[in-house]
Amino acid sequence: DTAVSQTPKYLVTQMGNDKSIKCEQNLGHDTMYWYKQDSKKFLKIMFSYNNKELIINETVPNRFSPKSPDKAHLNLHINSLELGDSAVYFCASSDFGRPNTEAFFGQGTRLTVV
Amino acid sequence: AQKITQTQPGMFVQEKEAVTLDCTYDTSDQSYGLFWYKQPSSGEMIFLIYQGSYDEQNATEGRYSLNFQKARKSANLVISASQLGDSAMYFCAMRGPVYSSSGGGADGLTFGKGTHLIIQP
């Protein structure tokens, strides 16, 4: 069973389009995240959501919006895609009440904007 | 704000040798956790090892051990008897508070820039 699954794995789209990346976790974790990995492999947190509060990295453009239909899902919606949005996006989850445990990552979605 | 520094962008190591990947961190929090992740060329993020700030002993997981020196704020990863399959990107990360401009807080991982390790036969 995949602990954190995100779809699609690859996404190629044109500038200006709106797209979504889905993420689901079956670990019963109460906190989910989105991270962006740029072309230099640098990973940076975009959002942290613990089903009560959404914390946004203030450097993230408001074209990016996470949506959580329930505790097990945190989808990422991106409006008006730009070339600079091309990156690998990782969903992750962890147990906020157990800070000594690791975050589990999905396999990543490679987004290419052309 | 938390900061993780990995000063080795790339390393070449002979197979079967031990390798140390450096990581230093900066935080004003008293309680924090340090993690190492491996990212092979296939792209997934694989958890390797964890060290808590209050742990008195260095963490070990199989061939992985963490050389934790709290006073120096370093958490170096040691891989013993390296194998070809160890070739990958390695990321040091700290778990701690992530704050928004509105003052709300949650936790998250702050990553270093990574070290690209290549094991040579």
Each residue's pLDDT tens digit, B15-50: 999 999 999 999 988 888 999 999 999 999 999 999
Tokens of A26: 């079956």
Q: Compute φ and ψ for A45, nearest 5 degrees.
A: -70, 140
Residue type, B54: Y
DSSP code of residue B86: G
**Minimum mean pLDDT range among A23-27, A59-63, A93-97, B11-15:** A93-97
| pLDDT (0 to 100) of residue B98 | 64
Residue A36 pLDDT > 70, yes or no? yes
**How large is the average pLDDT for residues A41-61?**
84
Average pLDDT over residues B65-87: 97
Length of chain A: 114
Residues 24-83 of A with CB under 8 A from B: 31, 33, 35, 40-45, 48-50, 53, 55-58
d(CA A105, CA A67) in angstroms, rounded, equals 18
Rounded CA gap, A29 and B32, in Å?
19
How many percent of chain A have pLDDT more than 70?
Answer: 96
Say which of A43, A49, A55 has its CB closest to residue B91.
Answer: A43
What confidence score (pLDDT) does residue B29 get?
A: 84
